[in-house]
Amino acid sequence: MRERELNFQGPSPLLYLLATPIGNLEEISPRTKKIIEQADYIACEDTRNSGLLLSRLGFDKKLISCHEHNEEAASQQIVSLLKEGKKVAYMSDAGYPAISDPGSRLVANCLANGIKVATVSGPNAALNALASSGLDSTHFYFHGFLSAKPSERDQELNQIKVRKETVIFYESPHRISKTLLALYQALGDRQAVIARELTKAHEEFIRGTLKEFLTIDEATLKGEMVIVVEGDHSEPVVSEEAIIQQLKAFLAEGLRSKEAIKKTAELLSVNKNQVYSLYLASCKDDQ
Ligand code: SAM
C-alpha cells in the first residue's frame, strides 16, 4: 500500500482533472473556474477546442497539448512541471478526462511519480443519458465506443449480450445506423434509449426498442449520441434434463412425489405442470 496523504494537504504535488461541458457552457462549475484561474498551465486534449472554451470563460492560460497520440511524452512534461511546483490541470474536449477520452495514462504516470490526482466534478454524457433513460440504473455497465471493426464489434456484443445490467454505449453520428443494426442483431429486441445532443438546445431522448430504432431515418440522427440498452432480462431456459435430475435428487432424499415436484418447480423457477409431466414420463416408474 502506498503512503497515505490527504489530497489537499501534505507536500506532494497534485494534478487536477477537470470535467468540462458536453454542450451547455453554463455547466462549468465555480470550482472548475477557480482551479483554472489558479493553474499555471492547462494541459488539454486539443489546444484549439480548450483555447476556445477558456477564452469564452475569460481566461488566457498557457496550454500543453496532451492527446491520444502523445500522452506518454506529454505526461513526462506535465510530471516535471508539477514536480517543479507549477499548478497544472488537465481537460479533454468534453466531459470527464479518461472516460472514452485521453487522461488515464497521464494519471498513471503522475501516480507513478508520487503526484496525487483530484477530479473536479462536472458533466458526463453517459450518466446524463442513464439518469434520464428510465431504464434500470441500479447496476449498469459502461462500454463506451464499440470497435469500428465489424468482427471485433460483434465479438464485444457477444460478450455484452448476457449482461443483466443496463448497458451504455457511446457512438458517433456517421456510424449510428450500422451500430443500431448490430445491436438489434446481437442483443435482440430490447428496450433502449438514444440520448442525443445532451444539454444542448436540440437535446432529445428517443425511447423505444432496438427493433423500432431500425426504422429511424438516419438523417434525423445528427449530433452526439449515447445509446442506453436494457440488460438481458430473459428467463434462463432450464433444460428438461436438469429438471429430471433435481426431481430424482429430491425423491432419493425420501421426499414424497408431490413435495419433490413442488420443491423442484420452486428451486428452478419452472412451471409445476411441466415438472409433473416430466415426473410422469421419467421418474414415476423408478419408484
Ligand atoms: N469524456 C466524455 C464524457 O465524459 O462523457 C466522452 C467523450 S467521447 C470522445 C464522445 C462521445 O460521448 C460522443 O461520441 C457521444 O457518444 C458522447 N457524448 C458527448 N457529448 C454528448 C452530448 N452532448 N450528447 C450526447 N452524447 C454525447
* H/E stretch holding 287: none
pTM exceeds cut of 0.75 = yes
Q: 221 CA distance to ligand 1 centroid (A)? A: 15
Bridge partners, 132 (sequence order): none
Task: Please state the CATH superfamily assignment of the domain spanning residues 126-229 in this structure.
Answer: Tetrapyrrole methylase, C-terminal domain (3.30.950.10)
Atom of ligand 1 nearest to the CA of 171: 16
Task: Please state the CATH superfamily assignment of the domain spanning residues 14-123 in this structure.
Answer: Tetrapyrrole methylase, N-terminal domain (3.40.1010.10)
Confidence at residue 173, expressed as pLDDT on a 0 to 100 scale? 86
Query: 226, 227, 229: which to mutate for ligand 1, most atoms within 8 A of CB?
Result: 226
The Cα–Cα gap between 242 and 160 comes to: 26
Find out whether the beta carbon of 101 lies less than 6 Å from any atom of ligand 1.
Answer: yes
pLDDT digits (tens, 9 = 90+) for 167-191: 999 998 899 999 999 999 999 999 9
Residues 70-89, mean pLDDT to the nearest whole number: 97
* H/E stretch holding 118: strand 116-120
Domain ranges of the chain: 14-123, 126-229, 240-286
As a residue count, the chain comes to 287
* H/E stretch holding 105: helix 104-112
pLDDT digits (tens, 9 = 90+) for 80-125: 999 999 999 999 999 999 999 999 999 999 999 999 999 999 999 9
The residue with cell 492560460 is 61
Burial readout 175-192 (b: 16 or more C-beta within 10 A, e: otherwise): ebeebbebbbebbeebbb
